[in-house]
Amino acid sequence: MIGLWSLPLLFALPLALGILSLLAVPAWRPRLIFVGLPLMAAASLDMLAGLVISGPQVYRLGDWIAPLGINLVADGLAVGMILITTLVTGLCALYARVYLRDHPPSTSFFWPLLWFLWTGMNGIWLAEDIFNLYVGLEVMGLAAVGMVALRATPPALAAAMRYLLAALLGSLAYLLGVALLYGAYGTLSMAGLQEAAAANATTQVALALIIVGLLLKTALFPLHAWLPPAHGGALTPVSALLSALVIKASFYILLRIWLVLGPEVTPDFTAGLLGVLGAGAVFYGGWMAWRQHHLKQLVAYSTVAQIGYLFLFFPLVTNTGPEAARLAWDGTLMMLFSHALAKAALFLSAGNLILAVGSPQISHLIGISRFRPMSLFSFGLAGVSLMGLPPSGGFTGKWLLLHSALLSGQWWWLIVLFLGGLLSAAYIFKVFRMSFREGPQIDRSVTPPLTLDMIALLLAASAILIGLTAHVPLHWLRVGMVFGAV
């Protein structure tokens, strides 16, 4: 009964606030977060309390039983995603309130878009119905495209258009797969599909379409081309939200569908292929990040690389022992959560550095370490997690993945983990080398508001902290999943 009010609030409240902030005058739009953020935090924490006290819950919308109606499921993974979304989105909203003051009034449409984005994300985390997931993807995707277009400069509009086309193509491929599955099994509920689905041509074609569509939306190498201009060119809080959370949504759907259907119906090579593409992303993304001259483009390519690690999940969890599969699950989720925190921190601190020097060029950061140590410290702290150095969340995640790879005898993934870490170090230190070089002795940099620095620091510190206390979130994330039994 605990989630009876807080669970629907998780999507109804941001939806209501989105509408209200559209109706409000521009000056009032940011202020709605002072009502919304505490309520969202309370609802999210109540979900956690519900999970701890009474385990995973099923919420029947309209009181109809699936497959006639739509069910929502709040298991450990869903609640974990809700909490990280509340944390990262809340902090990005506080950041944006200060950051957007110096931007043209049309950027106040950021606020309705932010609430709609939140609605879509929470809808996806809770969904149990594959068509409902599609609708959630559309809400989130369109809000994200709108946010990329907010700058309204020709490059921003071009990036947004490219993002829109990629997202639509991905959604349509996904929808086509959903239609095939519905035609074959007469149900859209994941639980129903798990029972009914068999390895036949229809299921395989449907799953192939779903996987390709979601890979395009997750920007996995070689389908990543839309990501760097969209994430690198957007307003800073938008970049942080997109890289930290939005691309995780399509990965989350892929993860859920794989666990329901994947190993039973796909040919054996599929999991390995996803792992190889992940490895390609780690190498190519890392290499491209190192070659960038614009700070935010570097961070955006780093996202392309970091997505790759998540896809090691598939070969490590498919047809391996229960212990290796559990380690792969833990490791992948640790990578996902620590990347969400670290990448948000990295984008926000990169935005602070750009505000300070007034230029997006990395070469203009010369000597900035003397004058803006705080911004650079957050950047470095987030970098520690991305490189996978102890004691960060990135380290814990890689450590768990490494154990899983050793246990299942797939030693070749160790090369990916090791070289990927070196590449991350190379592009993070590229920024540091420039900032520590002796430059002009006079401080010509602008001092950004303290709030902006504090928020980036808080996120970066959380990425480290989650590595130190990893066993607690990992324990609750296993609730309601097959891996909980081990």
Interface contacts to another protein, rule CB under 8 A = 4-5, 8, 12, 15-16, 18-19, 22-23, 59-64, 67-70, 103-107, 109, 112-113, 116, 119-120, 123, 131-132, 135-136, 138-139, 142-143, 145-146, 149-154, 157, 176, 180, 183-187, 192, 196, 198, 200-202, 204-206, 208, 235
* Distance in Å, CB of 214 to another protein, minimum: 16
Q: How far is the CB of 63 from another protein (least distance, A)?
A: 4
CB contact at 8 A, 338 and 401 = no
Spatial CB neighbours of 162, under 8 Å, sequence gap ≥ 6:
225, 226, 229, 230
Q: Considering only CA atoms, which of 380, 184, 340, 373 is closest in space to residue 247?
A: 340
Beta bridge partners of 131: none
Tokens 């370490």 identify what position?
Answer: 369
171 versus 424: smaller Cβ distance to another protein: 171
Beta carbon nearer to another protein, 58 or 461:
58
- Minimum distance from residue 22 beta carbon to another protein (Å): 6
Least separation in angstroms between residue 219's CB and another protein is 19
How far apart CA 274 and CA 307 sit, in angstroms, is 12
In terms of CB distance, is 136 or 367 closer to another protein? Answer: 136
Least distance in Å: CB of 243 to another protein?
20
Minimal distance, residue 196 CB to another protein, in Å: 5
CA atoms within 13 A on the CB side of 452: 27
Give the residue with the Cβ less far from another protein, 63 or 438. Answer: 63
Residue closer to another protein by CB (options 106, 469) is 106
Judged by CB, which is closer to another protein: 60, or 293? 60
Token pair of 474, please? 């990992």
Of 115 and 309, nearer to another protein (C-beta) is 115
Residue 72 dihedral angles phi and psi, to the nearest 5°? -115, 145
C-beta closer to another protein: residue 5 or 418: 5
CB of 19 to another protein, least distance (A): 5
| Helical ranges in 219-294 per DSSP H | 227-233, 236-241, 247-260, 262-265, 269-291
Smallest separation (angstroms) from another protein to the CB of 33: 17
Return the number of the residue (206 or 288) whose C-beta is nearest another protein.
Answer: 206
Q: d(Cα 25, Cα 44) in Å, to the nearest integer?
A: 29
Concatenated DSSP letters of 55-84: -SEEEEGGGPPTTTS-EEEE-HHHHHHHHH
Nearest distance in Å: CB 59, another protein: 6
Residue with Cβ nearer another protein (64 or 269): 64
Q: Which is nearer to another protein, 59 or 283 (CB)?
A: 59
User: Nearest 5°: phi and psi at 60?
Assistant: -100, 105
Q: How far is the CB of 96 from another protein (least distance, A)?
A: 14
For residue 169, how many other CB atoms are within 10 A of its CB? Answer: 16
Closest by CA position to 337, among listed 481, 476, 478, 463? 463
Closest-CA residue to 271 (of 315, 313, 208): 315
Minimum CB–partner distance for residue 205 and another protein (Å):
4
Distance CA 395, CA 192 (A): 38
Enumerate residues 6+ apart whose C-beta is below 8 A from 483. Answer: 322, 325, 326, 329, 330
The answer to whether 310 and 258 have CB atoms below 8 angstroms apart is no
Q: Phi and psi dihedrals of 98, rounded to 5?
A: -80, -45
Tokens 């192939």 found at: 208
Which strand (E) or helix (H) includes residue 327? helix 322-357
